[in-house]
Amino acid sequence: MIIIKTYLGEIFSGPTWEDVLVQLKAMNFSQPRDLRELMDGIAKRIKISQGEVIHYGDYSDFGRELERVGFLEIVQSE
């Protein structure tokens, strides 16, 4: 089970990173078409606001990068 807490205090959980990101996508008011668009959009916003570049290949890479830049905290990971 993966449990994350966003910098806003929202908690999301699921058996895989894909499940967690699907929940995050549902809460995203920009309404991305798919998870790739969600990840690209978040990475772009972090680049603009923090000057940090997010490097990711898969969903778990993305989650770890978001923790690195302070977007979320991984409370539990698999």
pLDDT recorded at residue 10: 94
This model's pTM is above 0.75:
yes
Please name the residue ranges forming H helices in the chain: 17-26, 35-50, 59-68
Rounded (10°) angle between helices 59-68 and 35-50: 20
Spatial distance between the Cα atoms of 75 and 32, rounded to a whole number of angstroms:
25
pLDDT recorded at residue 44: 95
* Average confidence score pLDDT of the chain: 93
pLDDT recorded at residue 29: 76
Residue with tokens 């798919």: 34
Question: Could you tell me if 25 and 38 are in contact, meaning their C-beta atoms sit under 8 angstroms apart?
Answer: yes
Q: Inform me whether the pLDDT recorded for 68 exceeds 80.
A: yes
Residue 26 one-letter amino acid:
A
**Per-residue confidence band for 30, with pLDDT thresholds at 50, 70 and 90:** confident
**Per-residue confidence band for 61, with pLDDT thresholds at 50, 70 and 90:** very high
Total residues belonging to the chain? 78
